[in-house]
Amino acid sequence: MNGDLQQLMEDSLAGSALALFAGDALGAPVEGLHLSTIAQHTGWVAEMEAGVRFPAGTYTDDTQLMVGILQALAEDDALPAGLLAQRFAANYEPWRGYGSSTGEALRRLRAGEIPAQALSRPSFGNGGAMGIAPLGVYFSRDPAEVAERADAACRTTHHHPEAIGGAVAVACCAALAARSRFSGQALEMRSVLERLLAMPALRDTPMAAPLARLDPLSGLPRLTPRARAEALAGSFEATLRAVESVPIAIGAALSAASLREAVEVAVNTGGDSDTQGAMAGGIAGAYFGAEALPASWLAVMENGAQGRDYIRALAKRLAAQAPAA
Ligand SMILES: [Mg+2]
């Protein structure tokens, strides 16, 4: 990869990874609340606040799973069977808000009570999609490879077709966002949706209909951020299901004029706010880059052993080894 392109890849990967973290941390304190409840209590979530159990800027399971994906890519980007499961289990911190069945499986895998392949569940949740966006950026040279790798990575924890469709959609959308940035092209909502729906890996899957439901919303970029959140909340149910939360995140990311807007709209739509913020940040960060992260967010994002500096350094290392674009 030539120097300029490697620099762009680094900014896109770091942007995706750090904005995923930012969206997760921004959304975590309001996770599970309805749009109208968020509006009543806080007006509009725009800055990192403390949650009931965490200080401001703390990430949850979404970012912890992403860290495992980045580590596995750095170790062996062919992602041999079991590698992701081992990374997820090694990083697992129960207090980060994992779903109870995933948390229990990670604990048992780490204790040596179950093999890596026993981590996978037939869940239609968004667990396979929440940390996947930077993987899409990493393999963005080849959209078919992005789809194949996202499918395999998702199966580590979730093997329901809806979960896999969600992971593939987020990874491919992040890849298209990165490619738009590399080629200096605008990220246009309708054309990205058309390209996603034309992909064999999405066309005949349970993700196709939810993505098609975003098409009538292609006027979203002309609305205010609050009106965008209201339109998304009116079109999709606020649930953990990948077929509902993934299109919310994609709609928020593709209609935004800035990284901040993408993450804020995804969080303020309500429902699975942290995961929606993570997925929207992971996509929009690939396009806008790490420089677009608001300084007020970065200042409070946790910076311990696997915090923001560690994640930025991993992105730099991955950019140097990513397949040439
Ligand atoms: Mg979470």
Q: Could you give the CA distance from residue 27 to residue 178 in angstroms, rounded to a whole number?
A: 24
The Å distance, Cα 296 to ligand 1 centre, comes to: 21
pLDDT in tens, 224-280: 999 999 999 999 998 889 999 999 999 999 999 999 999 999 999 999 999 999 999
Q: For the chain, what is the mean pLDDT?
A: 96
| Residue 101: predicted pLDDT | 85
Give the residue-averaged pLDDT of 113-137. Answer: 95
The Å distance, Cα 288 to ligand 1 centre, comes to: 23
Q: Could you give the CA distance from residue 294 to residue 129 in angstroms, rounded to a whole number?
A: 24
pLDDT in tens, 192-234: 999 999 999 999 899 999 999 999 999 999 999 999 999 999 9
The Å distance, Cα 31 to ligand 1 centre, comes to: 8
| Residue 1: predicted pLDDT | 66
The Å distance, Cα 62 to ligand 1 centre, comes to: 5
| Residue 16: predicted pLDDT | 98
- Dihedral angle sign, alpha carbons of residues 144, 272, 247, 203: positive
The Å distance, Cα 130 to ligand 1 centre, comes to: 8
Phi-psi region of 56 (alpha: psi -120 to 50; beta: other; left: phi over 0): beta
Has residue 119 got a pLDDT over 80? Answer: yes
Has residue 3 got a pLDDT over 90? Answer: no
247 membership: H or E segment, kind and range: helix 242-254
Tell me the two tokens of residue 148.
């194949």
The Å distance, Cα 63 to ligand 1 centre, comes to: 8
Tell me the two tokens of residue 317.
């290392």
The Å distance, Cα 97 to ligand 1 centre, comes to: 6
β-strand partners of 241: 125
The Å distance, Cα 132 to ligand 1 centre, comes to: 13
- C-alpha closest to that of 277 among 304, 299, 256: 256
The Å distance, Cα 204 to ligand 1 centre, comes to: 29
The Å distance, Cα 162 to ligand 1 centre, comes to: 19
- C-alpha closest to that of 136 among 168, 110, 163: 168
The Å distance, Cα 105 to ligand 1 centre, comes to: 17
The Å distance, Cα 50 to ligand 1 centre, comes to: 15
State percent of the chain over pLDDT 70: 99
| Residue 325: predicted pLDDT | 57
CB atoms within 10 A of CB 299: 12
The Å distance, Cα 95 to ligand 1 centre, comes to: 10
The Å distance, Cα 61 to ligand 1 centre, comes to: 5
DSSP structural state of residue 323: P
Percent helix, strand and coil across the chain, each to the nearest 5:
65, 0, 30
CB 278, CB 62: distance < 8 Å: yes
β-strand partners of 121: 158
pLDDT in tens, 276-299: 999 999 999 999 999 999 999 999
The Å distance, Cα 120 to ligand 1 centre, comes to: 18
List domains and CATH numbers for the chain.
3-46+57-321 (1.10.4080.10)
The Å distance, Cα 200 to ligand 1 centre, comes to: 30
Give the residue-averaged pLDDT of 18-23. Answer: 98
The Å distance, Cα 252 to ligand 1 centre, comes to: 18
Give the residue-averaged pLDDT of 166-193. Answer: 97
The Å distance, Cα 59 to ligand 1 centre, comes to: 8
The Å distance, Cα 182 to ligand 1 centre, comes to: 30
The Å distance, Cα 161 to ligand 1 centre, comes to: 21
Residue with tokens 């992105």: 315
| Residue 306: predicted pLDDT | 98
Give the residue-averaged pLDDT of 142-169. Answer: 96
Q: Which residues contact 150 (CB under 8 A, 6 or more apart)?
A: 132, 135, 136, 167, 168, 170, 171, 172
The Å distance, Cα 126 to ligand 1 centre, comes to: 10
